[in-house]
A and B are shown apart, each in its own frame.
Chain A
């Protein structure tokens, strides 16, 4: 195959691919889940939950929060990027990835928002 032809195929294919992927990413915005439903998600799947904090545990480099809603509770692991100003009973929204530790489902948080 001539290089000029391969270049055209690469550019057109890549352009179409990026457009299709943009469409997929637009269609796949996160929809909030009940905490109970997280158990049915696969490991590493991205999820969003809302709930209130019932405990805050600190380890080197991490905070481990227990977040509860009307359906159940779950542990949320938060990296110490900045000092987070949260306390027990605060309502929060969490976006993150599902993970499993000691046979227990947890969420590794990407984003945490306080709900006033």
Chain B
């Protein structure tokens, strides 16, 4: 029992480090764990390694909003929170933005865990029912996304542009980690570049707490648990895809509601991925793949144990993220924001160069250029998600 608590604690520490490092996605960390798991296996049991991995992954889904909201440097699961997070930061409410994502994460975690007994019998049949239609559902989502805009032409052009880039990048066989340079450029560096160019000043940050009306809370959490759970069953559908689907279903969601929704989706996705492994025997994300390799069998007892570990890790992660958010709030105004933008651009560029080489750097530059277009044209950056949506639509309908 003590060793399990230590595994959770170490997982939380590791998840905090990976979460606050700009641009690092949990799947990348999972790959590193796969490489080191044989060494770990000589000291501890596979179950303890699995507890460590899930605690780290759950903590990562909480802490990864810190670089996204405060530094404008997201990973692929938090890309959609960059702009609303940035707006809150510019209004002196960076802490409140992170607080909203944490409300989403922690409520999403608790509601998903309590829904697992209901999910197990139903998700399998929903998966069987929907899997032939998922491509068409995504096409409908894209059409709704474009029709919602006043100008239809530019959103359509941006969707096609980013979609073509996505298809091309996924087909470059020599490029490792294609998502890292593409999404860092489109959503991270483009935001930082525009902040630098416009000489954005970060106002003093206040520690404020949001007043959330009941309907926003119910809409955000409810849609993220339902859509996130169903989406976790489909290959290639990430939390970011699920966020786009959920926001098209729940119309007129406020920025506040959107941050709760995005916060919740990543955590829901991670928990439901364990249910997916148990019910349909399929590993849907990098973390779960590593767990399925380490564990020789995955039964109900193990699912309950790992879900319990996730709950404890989630509660610890809530405390850690809120504490760190206060630290970020006080530090962000003490540094020169222009220099900070340049420093983060350099860090992300170095990470991209180290992990993906020259070709990755080129992808990052092209993605940054595409990422700048919607900001200048004043339309939603969600259309840039074409880079993930178009390849997945083609995968399902072709």
Contact = CB atoms under 8 A, between A and B. Distances in A.
Given A10-B369, A62-B289, A1 B38 contact: no
A7 interface: yes
B164 interface: yes
B235 interface: yes
> DSSP majority for the A interface?
mixed
Contacts of A61: 277, 281-283, 288-289, 292, 298
> DSSP majority for the B interface?
helix
B359 interface: yes
B363 interface: yes
Interface string B356-372: 00010011011001101
A11 B366 CA distance: 10
Contacts of B169: 21, 25
Contact of A25 (B35, B168, B277): B168
A13 interface: yes
A46 to B, nearest CB: 4
Chain A's interface size range is: 35 or more
A43 B176 CA distance: 9
Interface string A14-29: 1001101110110011
Interface residues of B, number: 41
Given A7-B377, A13-B369, A79-B289, A60 B172 contact: no
A85 interface: no
A21 B181 CA distance: 13
Interface of B: 31, 34-35, 37-38, 161, 164-165, 168-169, 171-174, 176-177, 197, 235, 277, 281-283, 288-289, 292-293, 295-298, 359, 362-363, 365-366, 369-370, 372-373, 376-377
Given A59-B293, A62-B289, 11 more contacts: A1-B197, A7-B372, A7-B377, A25-B172, A44-B176, A59-B292, A61-B283, A61-B298, A62-B292, A79-B235, A101-B34
